[in-house]
Each structure stands twice: as structure tokens, then as C-alpha cells.
Structure 1
Amino acid sequence: MKASLLLCASLAVLLGAAGPAGAEMRVLRDSFDGQSFSKEGGLYYKKNFEQKAGIVEFQRDVAIRGGALKLSVKPHCPAAETLCSERAEIWEKPDLRVPYNEGVWYGFTVKFGAPIPQDDHRYLIAQWKREIGPEAEGDFSPFLALRLRQGKLFATVETNYIAPQATLAAAAPEKTTAPCASGETPVWLRPETNQMRALVATDATWTPEDGSLFSSCTSAISVIRHGALPSPDSGWIDFAIFTRPGPDGSGHIEVFANGKPVVTVRGHIGHGDKGLGENQYFKFGPYRAANKDEWTLYYDNFRRSPHCKDVLDKGECPAL
């Protein structure tokens, strides 16, 4: 009897039955050519109050070829609820999520609908997060996010708060405006939430004033910039992104846009707080703080794989 139980347990681990560890290796693809999400894509539209602001349309008027997904948000939040957001986000199915400590490649193509917002209402177009368990305390930001501010595209990486070096601390880091030294990365320190957010990539129109929030520097996150992000008004943008969180300093992110490398990020990436879940997960679509008017994005060619070659359609895969 004991031998049988041990054999079953071993098989469960190998096959992924003891958790999602076997499901994350499944290659996911959806070209959005049909009238609903494909079975091969593993995606769904989550229904909750904030997602009621969303409009989802499988359409063919704006697409690379065939069909594409049109996602829009409209005003929805009550005026009294200042923390309410408006979302039209597409999620991975929970049973297909990737373990938090494993690396995985994601790809998708996005086009900004007109008009492109020129204000600052916490706009996101894609985000990667860690599952939040029932025992976790606090609200955890995405460990990687592609964002829009005043019509400019940028990327941020989040991790647990790490106190800055003594030289910066003595200079009141919240007011530091000088460029970071070699080996350091601009960061927004948020000790009250045990988090800090690093600025890791921007488009070519970004100015120091746009990054004024990232007023401190950290050596806990290292960034090698290879190029700029495309401008939001440049048409279809194809992203290929590798994520492997590591709150202990072992994290690694690679961002490609239109087949060209944009940034390599290593170091402390993601959150290690008590009560957080075992998996990372990806969601894409327009997300903003409450605002007026509609905001639209088009998405096509979603893919996910443990292998770069399945995701980076053009360009050379990096050595990981």
C-alpha cells in the first residue's frame, strides 16, 4: 500500500497533478481570428465590477491579418470611489499559470487606437503579477508592467523595498534628481507598502521630467538598455518578453520589441511576502484609473512558451 502511494505521488509530480508545474510548459497561441477565444490560447475575460467598464470585440477591421481583439474601457467608476479602476483585461486561465520561480516567454502584438491618451491616469497595457493568497497582507503591484504616461510608453519592475545606499539616504532620496551612477537604476521608493518600483525602459520621447517620480537609485536591480521602446503612435508593436521573477536577487527579464532587444533586467524582481501564491500570471488589455471618454487598444498574435523560438518571431534569441 505504501509503495503504491509513493508511486502515485511520484507520477503526480512528474505529470503536474500535484500543482500547476506541468501545465506551464504548454504552448499557448491565439490569433483572435474567430468569434471567441481559442482553446489553444488558454485565455478568458474575467468578470468583476471593474471589468464591467470593458468592451471586448473580436473584429477584422483593424488587424495584421485575419482578425484581432479590440479592447476598450469606458467611464464606469462612481465618482466617490477614488481607488476604482476601469479595465478590459484578458487573463490566463488559472490552471495554466506558470510557477513563480520558472522562466517563460510571452508574446503579443498591440496597436494603440486613436486618440492616444495624453494625460496620466495610471494607464497599463500589459502586466505580470504574482498570485495573492488569502493570508497575504497588502496590495501588490505587478512585478513587470508596460505603461503609458502622457502619451509615452515605458516599463517598470517592482520588488520588495530595499533601503538605498547611505549616500543617497543622507541626501533625502525622495528628492534626489541627479542621474544614477553606473550599475544603479532609477527607482520610486515606497517603504510604506514594502515595495519599490524601478524604471527600466522608455520610448525615445521620454524626458527627465516624465520620470520625476523615480527620484532615487538602487543597485538591487541592474538594467542593460539595448534600445528604446517604440512610440505608441508607430502602429503595430510586437512584444516578446521573458520573465523569471526572483525576489531574492535571482530575477531575470528580457524585453524585445519588433524583434529588437530593448532591455535586460536582473536582480531583485517581484515580491517574496508571506502568503503570496506559487504562480506568476500575465494579463493584457487597457487598465486605467477612472477617467472620461473611451480608451481602445487592439491585440493580435498572443503566444506563450518556455522556448524563445516559439515567441520571438523575428530577431535573435538571447542566451539565458
Structure 2
Amino acid sequence: MKKKVFALAMFLTSVLPGAEAIADEAYKTPLFDGFEGENFSREGGLYYKDNAEQRAGSVEFDRTGGRDGKGALKLSVRSGCNVSADSCSERAEIWERPELRVPYFTPVWYGFSVKFADPIPQDDHRYLIAQWKREIDPGAPGDFSPFLALRLRKGRLFATVEANHFAPVSEQPKGMPAKCGPGQTPVWMRPDTNQMRALVATDANWGPEDGTLFNACTDKIEIIDRGNRLPTPDSGWIDFAIMTKPGPDGTGRIEIFANDKWIVTIKGYIGHNDPPLGDNQYFKFGPYRAAAEGEWTLYYDNFRRSLNKSDVLGPDAARLVE
């Protein structure tokens, strides 16, 4: 039945000028892709965006590389930029189709499994494996960072949340990690772009020296520690289940699970509300880095998206969340 609803929405959107109401409802249909075939499944709503930034990337449907020994998506980036060119990026990212994007303030659950291929980058560089953003209207000025991102630095896995800039509660000198009190969260302040980036979750290998970029504290973003750290990149397959509900007015909430363990809840000012931004949130995953040498490969499996947590979380984990 779900396949029929999805196909009907896509068909009417393409051929009927009066189908806007049905198209607007398309985001409510659960999506899933196990990457078992030779291309993206119709039920998954995913595609590889072919543009200049992605020319350093490659996509392969690996028939035996999956978490269950079946299909997986193998995504790689190779050196394509001058290593001194900070403005150049190398990507192999998979996007949600625009007509299926979820309204910005709507809570939605995403799930996917990821495995880091060897070698795992150990340099102090910008690496992302997944990111959630708000649409930017065509031609609008500004460069807005993802409101949620899963990142890698020096071989450590961590998560960040972005919000509009607020004056910090306290701030340490540049290069010194923040000293935050109860109810406060370490952030990297960027007033020149009206943004601040919060450090919200880390793996077990993360140390104080890894957080020196986050030298200020904010009380606009609250982290509820659920007693678990992110898995380390060398631990094999990691299955993420994440709920996103942006709220630049202070009503935001994010839930992060990994391997059925509840990692953190994030509440407060999440995301951006600047005038040129669009109506929807969107998700993309795959290796993304600033200019670097060598090849970097990730495997992905079991993508799912739903407004219903039970379609994404396992039954025991689903019972934990209100």
C-alpha cells in the first residue's frame, strides 16, 4: 500500500497541475532503501546529485557489502582539489528528492547504517558523513551550515548542532576548550555569519584537546546525556536513528540513537531563521571533506525515513522516546 501511495503522489505531481495538495502530502509516506539493486529504489526517494562538487566522488552498488551480507552503497571521494584550497570540497553525497522533503518545523525520524572503510582519516580536517540542512532559496546570499551534522576529526566521531548566534554565557581564549556549567553547552561562536555551532555528542576516544574549537558556552541549547557515547569509527557497522525537529525560536529537539542505544537529546534553539531560507529541511549522506589527499570510502545500508519512530527505531528503543 505504501508503494502505491508513493507512486500515485509522484505520478500526479508530474502530470496534473492541480495535484499540489497531494504533492504536499508526499513527505508523509515512509521511505526505505536497502540498496539491494543496481540503482536507488523508487521507495527510497534518493538520488546522487551530479554537480561540480561531486565530480571527485563515485557511487557503487555493492551486491555483497551490506550489513546483512547483501547490498550496500559504496561511496568514495578521491583527491580533486588543491590541498591548500579551503573553499574546495570533495563529495559523494546522496540527497532526498526535493518533492519529498519534510517541512522545516515537522519532526521526522531518519535511520541509516554506516561503516568506515580502511584507512579511516586521522588528520585534523573537515570530514562529514551525514548532514541535515534547511533549504536556501535560489540566489539567496549566505552560506548556512547544517543544523545537525555527524562529523569526523582526527579519527574521532562527533555530532554538532547549529543555531543563530547568541551572545555567549562565558568564553575562554581561542584554542582553549570551554568551561561550561550545568544547563550550558560548548559552542564555537561565529558572529560574522550569525551562527554558532554546538558540540552535542562524541565518541569514547574524544578528549579535551579535541574540543578546543568550542571555547564558549551557551544556555540556548540544552543537552540531555542519555548515558552512552557515540560508537568509534573503527567499531564496524553503526546504525543511526535520529529525530530532527528544528526550532530556531527555541522549540527545537533532536534525538540521537546509535546501535539501539540512546545517546543524547538536544533541545532549544536549533537551526536558522534568516530571511532567504526556504520552507523545508533536507538530509544528505555520504563522504564530504574539504580538500585532502588520498581516497576516503564509506559504506551505507538500510536507509529509512518516517514520521513514525517505530518505522526507524527498534521496538525496545522506540519505547524509550515519548
Q: Normalising by structure 1, what TM-score? A: 0.90
1:307 is matched with: 308
Helix, strand or coil at the partner of 1:52: helix
Indicate conservation of the 8 Å contact 2:241/2:258, yes or no.
yes
1:108 is matched with: 112
Q: Does residue 42 of structure 2 align to residue 39 of structure 1?
A: yes
Indicate conservation of the 8 Å contact 2:37/2:63, yes or no.
no
Letter in 2 for 1:302: F
2:230 is matched with: 229
2:27 is matched with: 24
Distance in 2 between the 1:48 and 1:70 partners? 19
1:74 is matched with: 78
Indicate conservation of the 8 Å contact 1:16/1:22, yes or no.
no
Residues paired across the two proteins, number: 303
Deviation string for 1:241-280 (max 9, x for gaps)? Answer: 0000000000000000000100000000000000100000
Alpha-carbon distance change, 16 to 102 in structure 1, aligned in 2, over 3 angstroms = farther
1:92 is matched with: 96
Distance in 2 between the 1:164 and 1:80 partners? 32
Q: CA deviation at 1:136?
A: 3.3
Distance in 1 between the 2:115 and 2:64 partners? 13
Distance in 2 between the 1:200 and 1:79 partners? 29
Letter in 1 for 2:264: V
Distance in 1 between the 2:155 and 2:230 partners? 13
Indicate conservation of the 8 Å contact 1:21/1:98, yes or no.
no
Q: CA deviation at 1:82?
A: 3.2
Distance in 1 between the 2:34 and 2:278 partners? 30
- Following TM superposition, the consecutive aligned residue runs of length 4 or more in structure 1 with deviations greater than 6 angstroms are none
1:158 is matched with: 162
5+ long unaligned stretches in structure 2? 1-12
Letter in 2 for 1:229: L
What do you get for the CA RMSD once the two structures are aligned? 1.9
Indicate conservation of the 8 Å contact 1:21/1:99, yes or no.
no
Q: CA deviation at 1:197?
A: 0.1
Distance in 2 between the 1:80 and 1:196 partners? 25
Indicate conservation of the 8 Å contact 2:244/2:253, yes or no.
yes
2:3 is matched with: none
Q: CA deviation at 1:81?
A: 4.1
1:258 is matched with: 259
Distance in 2 between the 1:185 and 1:29 partners? 34
Q: CA deviation at 1:177?
A: 3.6
Alpha-carbon distance change, 173 to 164 in structure 1, aligned in 2, over 3 angstroms = farther
Q: CA deviation at 1:18?
A: 4.7
Distance in 2 between the 1:44 and 1:295 partners? 20
Q: CA deviation at 1:178?
A: 4.8
Deviation string for 1:39-66 (max 9, x for gaps)? Answer: 0000000011110111100013421221
1:5 is matched with: none
